[in-house]
Amino acid sequence: MSDSFREAMLGQIPKLRAYATALTGSSVEADDLVQDALVRVWRFRDAFQPGTNIAAWMFRILKNEFLTQRTRRRPMVEDPDGQLSGQLTCDPDQEWRLQYGEILDALPLLPDDNRDALLLVVAGGLSYQEAAHVCGCDVGVLKGRIRRARVRLAELTDLGSPKLSAQRGREADGLRAAMLN
């Protein structure tokens, strides 16, 4: 079981990283989260039941690890007036970064169930069936959650606006199509 398990586990890393990046909003934090989740996956590999969905199992472990870390996380530097954080920011120089930033800012505003369903399918690359298994719901319920999440994201980020393509160019058209489909 070890060699086939190892190969199946390694095959899921890009999808786990995409999902972790969407959850954390930072590629550095995502890498740490994926590494921590992989350590747990490997440590509990004997608990995995062959013949079941390894992707769903690994995504569940990653999400649980994220929730555990989020509850433990404390601010490292107090910045009540925002002076330090204001010095650390810079304006994005590319349009797609602005759009990506808008989406990342809007994601926490979505209901948890809808956001998780959307991230599992769009960022995680899971099928509807796999994502439904991770969320513990029927495929129809999952599709409804994803649709509501996409519509709400489009509203929050103005991706549904007809004037968008004139304002933001071809990159926005592709992003809008991905979010609304």
pLDDT in tens, 153-180: 888 887 655 444 444 445 555 555 555 5
pLDDT 10s digits, 26-79: 889 999 999 999 999 999 888 888 888 999 999 999 999 998 888 776 656 677
* CATH value of 94-180 in 1.10.760.10, 1.10.8.620, 1.10.10.10, 1.10.357.10: 1.10.10.10
Fold of 2-72: Rna Polymerase Sigma Factor; Chain: A (1.10.1740)
Model's pTM, two decimal places?
A: 0.49
- For the chain, the structural domain boundaries read 2-72, 94-180
Residues 6+ apart with CB under 8 A from 176: 154, 159, 160, 164, 165
Nearest-5° angle of CA 31, CA 128, CA 181?
90
Please work out, in degrees rounded to the nearest 5, the angle formed at the alpha carbon of residue 22 by the alpha carbons of 50 and 152: 115
